[in-house]
Structure 1
Amino acid sequence: MKTYELTVPCHFGLESVLKKEIYDLGYEISEVEDGRVTFIGDAEAICRANIFLRTTERVLLRVGKFKAETFDELFEGIKALPWEEYIPENGKFWVTKASSIKSKLFSPSDIQSIVKKAMVERLKQKYHTNWFEESGASYPVRIFLLKDEVMVALDTSGESLHKRGYRTLTSKAPITETLAAALIMLTPWNKDRILVDPFCGSGTFPIEAAMIAANIAPGMNRSFLAEQWTNLIPRQLWYDTVNEAQEMLDTDIKVDIQGYDIDEEIVRAARDNAKRAGVDGLIHFQQRPVSQLNHPKKYGFIISNPPYGERLEEKAALPELYRTIGEAYRRLDSWSMYLITSYENAPKDIGRKPDKNRKIYNGMLKTYFYQFMGPKPPKRKGTKE
């Protein structure tokens, strides 16, 4: 079967998590750049990457890469690519996004227009026609320019992969599903350990943790644009991949995952979201302030996205809030705590320097993933831990 270069974007700073996911799926990585990883895979890999990868925003099929400093070079470079190998005569194609960083060509609308014209010219020659109905499947194109190097790709996913399909109601400052999954996977948490999110909002951290624990593939209950690409991907491959995901499910597990929030309505929304995700039986949601955070067991994890105070009137309340977080954490003997926040004084107000601090861009917002490590639990007899 033909192999492709597949590029998968992720949040800046979380490339290592996505790399591990790709290796675990059994694919060979060819390139790692800021905010994206490229690997080699066949048509089945397109299905499996869309359905199984938890930390990428989409799966892009790379058509080509070349240098362009002028619009003429861009036109000729696009025209030289073998578009007929990807887009059938009745395919609908357009440039859905063009981005340019540190490049001489920087106008997205001009780049989009020239790329479309060059594609039309190439396909006119190959299909011996002057008119394309574009009545078939959709083949959206994405163009990335970095230091005058053009990467050209087809988007196989359609809607962003963070849209798992379970979240209809969200809280004021939601964290995306892909970022939540990546942050959980960055910690040593596993399904045998307690996890509490005291600012759970619409439930994203607890739900993603429960999906990881139950081995629920994040994309198994949604559709993808490339399902219509029967010229490249036999439809049976999608069915086979969903069957593979079904066989891996383990919803009979016993876990201790909890989510708290002070807003009763948001807690109700979180329960509804968990139900849609198929993990409502694995999570205990409760209306409770962070000041009441306690747990009798040791070696648990707090993983949370507390308020950042993005609005001016909320900023004044942050020192007191983070002091309360610190007090609650000190009561939890031997626990670990992981917080993502843009609030730079968090460690000072919490009253403890983090063991690790990772800078992560949440969209355009610079945030910090503060990591406060508790001790490892004692080894159980008979384990090789």
Structure 2
Amino acid sequence: MEKIVTIACPCLFGLESVLSFEVKKLGGENVVVTDGKVTFDGPLEMVAKANIWLRTAERVCLVLGSFPARSFTELFDQTAQLPWEEYIGREDAFPVKGWSLNSQLHSVPDCQRIIKRAVVRRFEKVYGQTFFAETGCVYQIQFSIHKDQAVLMLDTSGAPLHKRGYRANSNEAPIKETLAAGMADLARVHSDSIVYDPLCGSGTLVIEAALKALNIAPGIRRRFAAQQWKVFSDGTFERVRREAVSMVRKDAPFRGYASDIDPQSVKLTIENAAKAGVASRIRVDEKDVAHFAPRDSQERAIVLTNPPYGERLLEIRQAEEIYRMMGENIGTCDNLNCYIISPHEEFEKLYGKTANKRRKLYNGMIKCQLFMYY
């Protein structure tokens, strides 16, 4: 019988329901949604599937144990009872990092030391040695302690999952790929959608929309920490990747139109779309948002955009002028469904139209609203 494991995937606040739907579609069982995290069960192969396929997860962690920890003794004893040797070999490295919130054990460095010592104690018994060189494969131990409940995990992703590999270069205020993917999902981008981004920056929104429409797995081109692990030496990741390649919808009629007033942004978008493998589906132009118009006024389309908002007074005033401009030309097109993300409290007033729906999302640490106009 195939081994069933528990997997935890953190995500940006506001994207929990989107990620939960993705997990269920992938075949995850016993799905539990909490703030900023989705936990679920599945066979070991699910680790590879989650890393390669999930668009809105920040990383994929293998849960080894969860228990109350109100004292260092409790933390040590419970950690030492977990079966770390099922994954980590006697030569392997096992650094520890994590966080603690609203808990009696609030010192993160102390928790790191206790967990490290407990794993070493476990290995001393299992491997019958007292020195561990840690020269082999890296198994990053992650812990979280929230309201005195500790969760111990192994990070299978390595670099965060928003690092798809296509955006080595970006402009000053890029939107995270995982947030862009969440917005594309909320905008109901399908294989036959037409998507516009008239303030494209480095192209992330229109690229993520294209990846979704063409069913290109976001992790198809990158590597993950767990690929080096002994439990995955049977080629699981390679097999899941081959399956993902075979599931690309090359015949999808999706079209994307990106534009920006900044020539450097246009250049970046073209480069990034090529790296993501969707350059043939996206047309990129140098154009002011004031001159935006859909290519066919009868065609239903989606506007997906992240207008600038600025931090200094002059930038904020310029951003506000852009919002007014957007309302005057984008807001008057009846055939467009618009999804605009902004942290500006007065966005709707400046845009000149109340959104049909709003949704709270976080772009990094910045609280935003996704304003949806149907």
TM-score of the aligned structures, taking structure 1 as reference length: 0.94
1:158 matched to 2:158? The reply is: yes
Farther-moved stretch of structure 1 (175-184 vs 324-333): 324-333
Q: Deviations over 1:161-220 (max 9, x none)?
A: 111110011011101111100111012232323210111110001111111111111111
1:233 matched to 2:232? The reply is: yes
Deviation at 1:299, TM superposition (A): 2.1
SS of structure 2 residue aligned to 1:57: coil
Which residue number in structure 2 is paired with residue 65 of structure 1? Answer: 66
Which residue number in structure 1 is paired with residue 174 of structure 2? Answer: 174
Map 1:117-196 → 2, pairs under 5 A: 117-196=117-196
Deviation at 1:88, TM superposition (A): 1.1
Which residue number in structure 1 is paired with residue 282 of structure 2? Answer: 283
Q: State the one-letter code of the partner of 1:221.
A: R
* Overall identity of the aligned pairs, in %: 42
Deviation at 1:54, TM superposition (A): 0.8
User: Aligned partners of 2:244 and 2:279: how far apart in 1?
Assistant: 19
Structure 1, gaps ≥5 residues long: 374-385
Which residue number in structure 2 is paired with residue 366 of structure 1? Answer: 367
Deviation at 1:258, TM superposition (A): 0.8
Q: Deviations over 1:119-169 (max 9, x none)?
A: 111111111100012121110011111101001100000011111110011
Which residue number in structure 1 is paired with residue 50 of structure 2? Answer: 49
User: Aligned partners of 1:366 and 1:258: how far apart in 2?
Assistant: 27
Map 1:296-311 → 2, pairs under 5 A: 296-297=296-297, 298-311=299-312
Instruction: Give the conservation status (yes or no) of the 8 Å contact 1:101–1:147.
Output: yes
Which residue number in structure 1 is paired with residue 247 of structure 2? Answer: 248
Instruction: Give the conservation status (yes or no) of the 8 Å contact 2:11–2:57.
Output: yes
Q: State the one-letter code of the partner of 1:254.
A: P
User: After the TM superposition, which parts of structure 1 deviate over 4 Å for at least 4 consecutive aligned residues?
Assistant: none
SS of structure 2 residue aligned to 1:340: strand
Deviation at 1:256, TM superposition (A): 2.1
SS of structure 1 residue aligned to 2:331: helix
User: Aligned partners of 2:55 and 2:240: how far apart in 1?
Assistant: 15
User: Aligned partners of 1:139 and 1:306: how far apart in 2?
Assistant: 40
SS of structure 2 residue aligned to 1:330: coil
Aligned residues: 371
Q: Deviations over 1:344-363 (max 9, x none)?
A: 11100001111111111222
Which residue number in structure 1 is paired with residue 350 of structure 2? Answer: 349
Q: State the one-letter code of the partner of 2:127.
A: Y
Q: State the one-letter code of the partner of 1:357.
A: R
Which residue number in structure 2 is paired with residue 21 of structure 1? Answer: 22
Instruction: Give the conservation status (yes or no) of the 8 Å contact 1:94–1:140.
Output: yes
Structure 2, gaps ≥5 residues long: none
Which residue number in structure 2 is paired with residue 263 of structure 1? Answer: 262
Instruction: Give the conservation status (yes or no) of the 8 Å contact 1:22–1:29.
Output: no
Cα RMSD (Å): 1.3
Instruction: Give the conservation status (yes or no) of the 8 Å contact 2:27–2:42.
Output: no
Which residue number in structure 2 is paired with residue 330 of structure 1? Answer: 331
Change (3 A) 1:330 1:362: closer
Deviation at 1:318, TM superposition (A): 2.7
